[in-house]
Amino acid sequence: MARQVYSAKKQGMCSASATDEKGADGASHHYEFTHHPTVDSPAIPLSSLKFQNGDPAQVGVNGVTDEMVLAALIDHLKGFQGGPYACNENANAVQALINGLAWLNGRPNLYGRGIQGAEKP
């Protein structure tokens, strides 16, 4: 069962939903993004996002990492900052995402320690 994690009523209704059950690591790994032009209209798929599920050394690379997504968001917002949509809110969001990426890059290697994708004792 899909679990909605975000909705916005901009130009109709857009939403993001986790479409899988949480894994052994406690996280969902597949998200769908949809648009509902009107309340009664069916959902129009926009995109999906599949995160890495399990240690790549054991299961192979099967999705993106949090760091990859943050880097794409940083690049996207920096693009706005170089165009007609530059604003303080975008600048603050970019800085927050850069800080978040730095924190994630500072984590210990969870896969190499057998932690990522493993259940807690």
Q: In what order do the strands lie in the sheet with 44-50?
A: 3-8, 13-18, 30-36, 44-50
Considering the domain boundaries, does residue 75 fall inside one?
yes
Instruction: Give residue 1's pLDDT.
Output: 80
Tell me the residue range of the domain where 14 lies.
1-54
Instruction: Give residue 120's pLDDT.
Output: 44
Say whether both 26 and 49 belong to one domain: yes
Its pTM stands at 0.81
Say whether both 49 and 2 belong to one domain: yes
Q: What is the DSSP string of 10-61?
A: SSSEEEEEE-S---TTS---EEEEEEESSTTSPPEEEEEEEB--S-HHHH--
The number of folded domains in the chain is: 2
Model confidence pLDDT, tens digit, residues 15-69 = 999 999 999 899 999 999 999 888 788 889 999 999 999 989 899 999 999 999 9
Say whether both 7 and 50 belong to one domain: yes
Instruction: Give residue 41's pLDDT.
Output: 84
Considering the domain boundaries, does residue 120 fall inside one?
no
Mean pLDDT of the chain: 88
